[in-house]
């Protein structure tokens, strides 16, 4: 038995006796536009990437899935490189880490900006893996 999504009364021939036919036929759409959801995938990298891969209206959208997967892969690579830098030695890590962090920040901002502009940057090695899984 189908019920009205607003008031919960049983539907008779596809319309609600209290709310009318409009309430019974209304379908909720995604709350956020695709370009904003794609940009938000990069906001907290791993966290928002996983979040948008699991949220219902966005996990079926190929564009949002690509950006979410690419955000996750970028975060994993940044963490691996950061650990590798810290294992090199204290002196060398202190010299290289500011440049690495600046590069990571610029890449992060660039990925957010291009996703917000409804464009797409496919990063080497990471991008094709995200495209294949999206």
Q: Which has more pLDDT, 69 or 86?
A: 69
C-beta separation of 60 from 37 below 8 A: no
Asked whether residue 77 carries a pLDDT value surpassing 60, the answer given is yes
pLDDT at res. 107:
95
Residues contacting residue 77 through CB under 8 Å, at least 6 positions apart = 126
pTM confidence score:
0.74
Residues contacting residue 18 through CB under 8 Å, at least 6 positions apart = 4, 7, 9
pLDDT per residue over 40-49, tens digit each?
999 988 899 9
Q: What does the alpha-carbon distance between residue 70 and residue 73 come to, in Å, rounded to a whole number? A: 5
What residue spans define the domains of the chain? 1-29, 31-133
C-beta separation of 133 from 59 below 8 A: no
């Amino acid at each position: 038995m189908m019920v009205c999504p607003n008031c919960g009364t049983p539907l008779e021939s596809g319309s609600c006796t209290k709310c009318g036919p409009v309430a019974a036929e209304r379908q909720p759409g995604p709350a956020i536009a695709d370009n904003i959801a794609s940009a938000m995938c990069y906001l907290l990298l791993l966290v928002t990437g996983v979040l948008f891969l699991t949220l219902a209206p966005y996990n079926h959208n190929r564009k949002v899935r690509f950006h979410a997967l690419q955000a996750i892969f970028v975060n994993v690579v940044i963490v691996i490189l950061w650990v590798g830098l810290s294992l090199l030695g204290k002196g060398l890590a202190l010299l290289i880490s500011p440049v690495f962090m600046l590069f990571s920040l610029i890449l992060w901002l660039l990925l957010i900006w291009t996703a917000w502009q409804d464009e797409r940057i496919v990063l080497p090695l990471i991008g094709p893996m995200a495209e294949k899984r999206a």
